[in-house]
Chains A and B, each alone.
Chain A
Amino acid sequence: MPLRAKVATSVSKTAAALSRAAGRGDGSVIGGWIGLKIDPDLLAHLANGRAVALVSGTNGKTTTTRLAAAALEVMGQVATNSFGANMPTGHTSALARAGSTPFAVLEVDEHYLARVIDATNPRVVALLNLSRDQLDRAKEVAMMAQLWRDALAGHPDVRVVANADDPMVVWAAQGTTHVTWFSAGQRWHDDSFVCPQSGHPIERAGGDWWCAGCPLRRPAPQWRVEDEGVLDPRGDWHLVKLQLPGQVNLGNAATALAVAAEFGVRPIEALPRLATVASVAGRYAQVDRDGRNVRLLLAKNPASWLEAFDMAEQAPTLLSVNARDPDGLDTSWLYDVDFAPLRDRPVLITGDRAYDLAVRLEVNAVPFRHVMSFDEAIQAVPAGRLEVIANYTAFQDIRAELDRVL
């Protein structure tokens, strides 16, 4: 590593430590930011010599990154940005903090994928899905697919692990040389009605899809979720036992296995590692309080709300919605989510924008009760499981409240 990069690495570590000591989060963003100020090529230097996997997409990237990192540990030490700091500053900080490791698995914000591919020269890039996310700020979905397509076109040697069920992802990955397709099912279709190649409607039947006006269609996947397990490219089926709930995480596990396989890790070696992951940056964490077993599920956008309903048990459920800057200021997306799956359980609502949620649930014919605080919610439900589904800052609020108590 050049001297300048070494200095930057050490400053970056110090700044992160200072930031942590000052109680300002885990320091990954500020540390990386200072490091990049000193050496803009720092990320490239830090990545040099490591076999890198990047994981990107609208949903599931934090969990898939965590699972893929766990799987790769079969081979040796793995650097990873496990706190979800998924922009170049976070990557820089994660690699600096880890010291030299043979492997790195990095979650990448979908807007930054091109830059991070350029900087880290990854062996594998995993593309999960693309859907609407914080619409008053983000670029439209088709434009993001185009950015990915362009980014990959410049790196023909990268091995791509991509979701066969998402037309936007398939189109983005289609031009590359080495693609491994996985199928994890897709619940959300509202952002891929129209073919990104030709503008014709996308037709669907069963799990299959195809464009009505051009050759774009679902490729045959090499990795597939089947029943409670995953079918590998050789046709061997593996039972997947996870602590993380839901069909969605089974899909994330399939993706992680496919990524790990690109590094030579066999499913049979990886699976016991996946089973050790209990929570991801506080998500899925279970906390016992006053006889209630509280489980936290994060839902950031319409697609991930549908996934959360799938993960949640049929138990009392607290929904919390805010609309602060990180959430997006607009609550219109509430009408892109069908809350009907919650009709069979007691629903409580809270958060800054509980009234928006109340009107939405009325229209959806989902009975609910409004509570003023997380604590009131706890007291309002019987002993046993309480599922909590919250969007970004509402989730952080509830985590902070639980941390204070424990």
Chain B
Amino acid sequence: MSESTLRIVWIYPDLLSTYGDRGNMLILARRAAMRGIPVEAYEIRSDQPMPSSADIYLIGGGEDGPQALAAQRLITDGGLHRAVNQGAAVLAICAGYQLFGHSFFAKGAKCSGLGLLDLHSDRGETRAVGELRGDIDPRLGLPPLTGFENHGGRTHLGPGVSALARVTAGIGNDNQTEGAWHGKILGTYSHGPALARNPAIADLLLRWAIGADSLSPVDDTWADRLRGERLAAAST
């Protein structure tokens, strides 16, 4: 691995990969390659040690059992904590987002999370399923969030994190806010291949990882059409 290569790790696809989560890794790798940035992508299974030297970490959604198991293994392993302390960028989705907080509920039991985001999650009265839309924190300078959510959790933010977005359609964390960010960690309930509909978030992660203020533009004609369609669909 040379220093000029962007290293992307997909955390535990054997446990947390329910809804096309692979898409986020493919999209990041492609958008980096289009800018001439060499990429190495690693899928780290739950029986392997978690490297701490990668630039971007991705963690996806999953069922309760695998979620609890993944949290335990990541706490025991410690590699992800070291990576975050060294400034790695993270995109955490659904179950993966919840386990970045202090605690979450899986199979009716309260489980310890990684404590890397100041938040905790519990169960909502209803399952949140459908189109999700929100206005992203203006400090991030990104266009509106669009996604599909499918989760039973509700997430409560502490003072140590900011909401990723203010909800304009769907549920997100609690009907008001959606997702969280702190440092270079982003969490969201926009599940599965969230970056397909939000290429600007993909570019934000790339900019964080390589320490660049901007990236050369790429042709996002189809992604823009998809965004337009889904943002409109969320209002109906």
On whether the beta carbons of B26 and A363 are closer than 8 Å, the reply is: yes
- Bound state CA distance, A358 and B150, in angstroms? 23
For chain A, give the interface size range. Answer: 20 to 34
Query: Using Cβ atoms and an 8 Å threshold, which residues of chain A touch B148?
Result: 329-332
Query: Using Cβ atoms and an 8 Å threshold, which residues of chain B touch A333?
Result: 19-20
Which B180-198 residues have a C-beta within 8 angstroms of A?
Answer: 191-193, 196-197
Question: DSSP majority for the B interface?
Answer: mixed
Task: Find B223's partner among A136, A331, A332, A359 (CB 8 Å cutoff).
Answer: A359
Query: Using Cβ atoms and an 8 Å threshold, which residues of chain A touch B226?
Result: 355-356, 358-359
- Bound state CA distance, A260 and B86, in angstroms? 63
- Bound state CA distance, A207 and B154, in angstroms? 44
For residue A157, CB closer than 8 A to chain B, the reply is: no
Q: Mark B193-222, 1 if CB is under 8 A from A, else 0.
A: 100110000000000000000000000001
For residue B115, CB closer than 8 A to chain A, the reply is: no
Most B CB within 10 A of own CB, among A329, A359, A362: A359
Known contacts A193-B14, A332-B148, A363-B27; decide if A201 and B45 are in contact (CB<8 Å): yes
Query: Using Cβ atoms and an 8 Å threshold, which residues of chain A touch B197?
Result: 359
Query: Using Cβ atoms and an 8 Å threshold, which residues of chain B touch A336?
Result: 20, 22
- Bound state CA distance, A362 and B218, in angstroms? 12
For residue A273, CB closer than 8 A to chain B, the reply is: no
On whether the beta carbons of A135 and B196 are closer than 8 Å, the reply is: no
Most B CB within 10 A of own CB, among A333, A335, A336, A364: A335
For chain B, give the interface size range. Answer: 20 to 34
Most A CB within 10 A of own CB, among B30, B191, B193: B193
- Bound state CA distance, A362 and B229, in angstroms? 18
Of all chain A residues, the one with the shortest Cβ separation from B15 is A194
- Bound state CA distance, A355 and B232, in angstroms? 14
Task: Find B20's partner among A335, A355, A358 (CB 8 Å cutoff).
Answer: A335
For residue B18, CB closer than 8 A to chain A, the reply is: yes
Q: A336-B20, A336-B22, A359-B226 are in contact. List 12 more A-B contacts (CB 8 A).
A: A136-B129, A136-B150, A201-B45, A330-B148, A332-B20, A332-B191, A332-B192, A360-B196, A362-B30, A363-B23, A363-B26, A364-B26
Can you list 18 A-B contacts (CB < 8 A)? A135-B18, A136-B150, A194-B14, A330-B150, A330-B191, A332-B23, A332-B192, A333-B19, A333-B20, A334-B23, A335-B22, A335-B192, A355-B229, A356-B226, A358-B222, A359-B222, A359-B223, A364-B26
